[in-house]
Amino acid sequence: MSAALEQLRYTAEDYLTLERSAFTKSEFHNGEIYAMTGASRKHNLITVNIAGELRNQLKKRPCEAYINDMRVKAAEAHSYHYPDIAVVCGAPQFEDTYFDTLINPTLLIEVLSPSTEAYDRGGKFAHYRKIASLREYLLISQDQASIEHYLRQGDVWILSEALGLEASMSLESINCYLSLREVYDKVLDDDGDNKP
């Protein structure tokens, strides 16, 4: 997340009005709007790889996966975010008739970037945890075969990890799995080193 645009306070309605007519994306938290930066090649490849895997596994099931541009509202946190991937199982619910702001995600995935990693782990995850429907949160490394998986069990979030290209991660809430070899296709070589 970059610096707040000016030092004005905005309502959620102000933010949505501005955002829906903007050329670039911004996130919103507690009255402040934050401009988003672009993603790297590796970030994009990882996101597309995961989306492709999920699309194949969710076919003919009552789940939908969205990539990059589906805004998610964390109402209790007074925030709006653009996760790299959002999945909803069951009927998707939206904030209004624009159908561009999901309010009931089941799974959210963020691909970590140097500029956003601390926020994705901290403040953003704190906002996401306030979404009652959210069951799982994944943090995906760009530089090594590593997935951090947070699973909600009641009021507690349980952490598990998958490390290395031979590992896989089960996504309990949507009955899917991710092979790290597929997640890092064209990103890491067979030894787990960065490809050029």
pLDDT in tens, 48-64: 999 999 999 999 999 99
- For domain 39-183, the question of CATH label 3.90.1570.10 is answered with yes
In the predicted structure, residue 4 carries a pLDDT above the cut 90: no
The angle at the Cα of 52, spanning 51 to 54, to the nearest 5 degrees, equals: 65
Share of the chain above pLDDT 70, in %: 96
Q: For residue 192, name the pLDDT band (cuts at 50, 70, 90).
A: confident
The whole-number pLDDT of residue 5 equals: 47
Query: Residue 28 in contact with residue 82, Cβ under 8 Å?
Result: no
Query: Residue 57 in contact with residue 48, Cβ under 8 Å?
Result: no
* CA dist 68 → 46, 101, 111, 158, 165 (Å): 12, 12, 11, 25, 24
| pTM given for the model | 0.94
Q: For residue 145, name the pLDDT band (cuts at 50, 70, 90).
A: very high
Element (H, E) at 123: helix 123-128
Residue 40's contacts (CB-CB under 8 Å, 6 or more residues apart) are 113, 142
The whole-number pLDDT of residue 14 equals: 96
The whole-number pLDDT of residue 194 equals: 87
The angle at the Cα of 21, spanning 15 to 26, to the nearest 5 degrees, equals: 50
Q: Domain boundaries in the chain?
A: 39-183
Query: Residue 183 in contact with residue 42, Cβ under 8 Å?
Result: no
- Mean pLDDT in residue range 71-86: 97
The whole-number pLDDT of residue 6 equals: 52
- Mean pLDDT in residue range 155-174: 98
In the predicted structure, residue 137 carries a pLDDT above the cut 60: yes
The whole-number pLDDT of residue 63 equals: 98
